[in-house]
Structure 1
Amino acid sequence: MKITVIGAGNVGATAAQRIAEKELAHEVVLVDVAEGIPQGKGLDMYQSAPVELFDTKIIGANDYSATEGSDIILITAGLARKPGMSREDLLAKNAEIVKSVTEQSVRKSPNAIIIVVSNPLDVMTYVAATVSKFPKERVFGMAGVLDTARFRTFIAMELDVSVQDVTAFVLGGHGDSMVPVVKYTTVAGIPISELLPKEKIEALVARARHGGIEIVNFLKTGSAYYAPSSSAVEMIESIVKDRKRILPCAAYLTGQYGLKDVYCGVPVKIGRKGIEKIYEIKLEAEDLKSLVSSANEVKENCSKVTL
């Protein structure tokens, strides 16, 4: 297994380190346009191998020759958000970046699976899918895994329980219109509605929607990367080990939930071939309405992109 990580910033570098430490590949290639950065970070990571006891080789590069024959391509390249900046503010610039890196990487790895992390996530996944011309089951985005992790964390913090006992789904676009589905949120199988009052649940939903900007506002000069990298690697692990995990990801819809020709966060089964199944779960009327609204917002933003 060979995995390419495009973008040697905080998300990409942290993801590469996690992939190596979990030994999900025999080789990880870290690519970035900044001369010396991927080489330096890659070598630094590789030198941790004798301590962390992994044998994954890590290579840094500024071009795509070293990426040839990759099984998985993780796209993290792009500008990060700053305080006061929405994901949509990143649209034009990051679309150019994602278009370019997709073109270069797929020439070397025509059989790869592409996972997109760059923001605005759903639109950038659309860009990568359009440019690569890959089957849609081989191009999808990391969205709901991260959003759900944030929602689960806030619930665990509120109830003072283990995050491992909290189960949830956050669907829709990766942005302020995301849809935390309370109906499918449980703690050790107990519906959250039996553990918290409605107003507290609504507050946790709101915090989950703004979980990313909360961190941006703290950091001031950057955005989140520990949880995003973990979320992307969870998806990669399901592919590498063919685990068939059911995770909420930005997938291409062909009629599910009444939505068509749009990338939107929904529950999917991920295995060795990518997305193996899209699950159409029964939603409350209000949640379905929110999901449709979120998808329409993604479509509108996609229409602003010139490829």
Structure 2
Amino acid sequence: MKAGELFRGAKTRTDRCIVVAGASGGIGQPLSLLLKASPLIDELALYDVVNTPGVGADLSHISSPAKVTAFLPKEDGMKHAFTGADIVVIPAGIPRKPGMTRDDLFKINAGIVRDLVKGCAENCPNAYLLIISNPVNSTVPIAAEVLKAAKVFDPKKLFGVTTLDVVRAETFVAEITGQKNPAATTIPVIGGHSGETIVPLFSLAKPSVNIPADKLDALTNRVQFGGDEVVKAKDGAGSATLSMAYAGFRFAENVIKAVKGESGIVAPTYVYLPGVDGGDEIQKATGCDFFSVPVELGPGGAKKAINVLKDVNDYEKKLLAKCYEGLTGNISKGIEFIQNPPK
């Protein structure tokens, strides 16, 4: 029996199918679990280089509607997993290991994303692509370049998942305000998805929140570098996987709802501004082609980028100045990786 056949059954792909590329990893497994539990999904296809049949077998025992299929690279597994997919979520990648530089890590993960997006371009060119693999500031431009080369680039269907920054902002603010349900407060987080490129806009929170002046710097820093908290707590054994899986699921569910026709869904996400309605104005203000802003989602993907820059306060303007500088270099690094591949 070939890999995947145990779970595949009759593969018609007439229903809503979502693929997790990197399904066996620290983010991929809990993300797949959350997606399997969602009533919005008809088929969940899993793809990874190891252990996918086992993850698929495990998830297939859960009594929710989604049918589970599982594939390894052998025997055209990527083709079988991706063909007919509506949405592909990509959390694939490796964590940094002892002795490995950040540049080493970038080259490996950039190559992984490049190859997976090539697979999408060939087998599901109309799918919505949700990139989780870090560094998102660079991997999304990499994905865009691959899709452009294949002549299937639709900017409205390519998303960098920055939802974890929003989730952290909601959580950390609630610890100050006492809000019992952190998600009840909408806090825009814009820019990129690492360090100082992450800019939480507490002044635009709805309902409004009162952050004491003596706590603002620490709160901002915690949102920007919350991942370090997790790495330290795990004592070198890993990074943020469970919270990232939740954030990835939350954004994927928003995309699914919008594709199914639900209106009024707005979520911050890292997009190619020149290709999204409303994006040109933001691109001119930031000098960045890729940027995370609140985006209204619709059946076609990114319906409109919402310009919140004109409403920020002076404190946030200073944060944005640092963000633009860092983000410009990150974007260029991703594009350079494709245009002049490392040897």
Q: Does 1:226 align with 2:211?
A: no
Q: Percent identity?
A: 29
Determine the structure 1 residue equivalent to 2:56. Answer: 42
Q: Relative to structure 2, which stretch is displaced further, 122-131 or 258-267?
A: 258-267
- C-alpha distance in 1, partners of 2:111/2:89? 17
- Give the 5 Å matches for 1:176-215: 176-177=195-196, 178-186=198-206, 189-192=207-210, 196-215=211-230
The offset of 1:304, in angstroms, is 4.5
Q: Which amino acid is 1:151 matched to?
A: A
Which residue number corresponds to residue 171 of structure 1?
Answer: 190
Partner of 1:156: 174
Residue 301, structure 1, aligned to residue 330, structure 2: no
Q: Distance in 2 between matches of 1:127 and 1:303?
A: 6
Where do 1:226-265 residues align within 5 Å? 226-242=242-258, 243=262, 244-254=264-274, 255-257=280-282, 258-259=285-286, 262-265=289-292
Structure 1 counterpart of 2:157, one-letter code: R
How far off is 1:82 after superposition?
A: 5.9
Residue in 2 that maps onto 1:292: 324
CA distance in 1, matches of 2:97, 2:164: 19
- Determine if the alignment matches structure 1 residue 60 to structure 2 residue 70: yes
- SS for the counterpart of 1:305 is helix
1:81 to 1:156, Cα distance in 2 relative to 1, 3 A = farther
| 2: CA distance, partners of 1:83 / 1:176 | 21
Q: Give how far 1:218 is off.
A: 1.6
Alpha-carbon distance, 1:25 to partner:
1.7
Letter in 1 for 2:53: Q
SS of alignment partner, residue 27 of structure 2: helix
Whether the aligned pair in 2 keeps the contact of 1:3 and 1:73 (CA below 8 Å) is: yes
Among 97, 120, 134, the residue aligned to 1:105: 120
The range that moved more, 156-165 or 21-30, is 156-165
Q: Does 1:141 align with 2:155?
A: no
CA distance in 1, matches of 2:335, 2:90: 21
* In 2: Cα distance, 1:85 partner to 1:218 partner: 21
Q: 1:191 to 1:141 in 2, by over 3 A?
A: same
Contact conserved, 1:118 with 1:124, CA < 8 A, in 2? yes
1:164 deviation in Å?
A: 3.3
- Structure 2 residues without counterparts, runs of 5 or longer: 1-15, 275-279
Deviations 1:199-233 (A, max 9, x none): 21211111111111211122222111222122222
How far apart, in 2, do the equivalents of 1:20 and 1:86 lie?
A: 35
Tell me the CA shift for residue 158 of structure 1: 2.6
Runs (5+) with no aligned partner, structure 1: none
CA distance in 2, matches of 1:15, 1:270: 21
Name the structure 1 match of 2:303: 276
Q: Relative to structure 2, which stretch is displaced further, 288-297 or 2-11?
A: 288-297
The 2-side partners of 1:155 and 1:11 are apart by 25
Tell me how far 1:132 sits from its aligned partner: 2.0
Q: 1:179 to 1:88 in 2, by over 3 A?
A: farther
Normalised by the length of structure 2, the TM-score is: 0.80
Deviates more, 1:37-46 or 1:254-263: 254-263
8 Å CA contact retained: 1:6, 1:31: yes
> What are the equivalent positions in structure 2 for 1:51-130 lying under 5 Å apart?
54-62=64-72, 63-64=77-78, 65-81=80-96, 90-130=105-145
The Cα RMSD (Å) is: 2.2
Amino acid at match of 2:205: T
Q: Which has the larger strand fraction? A: 1
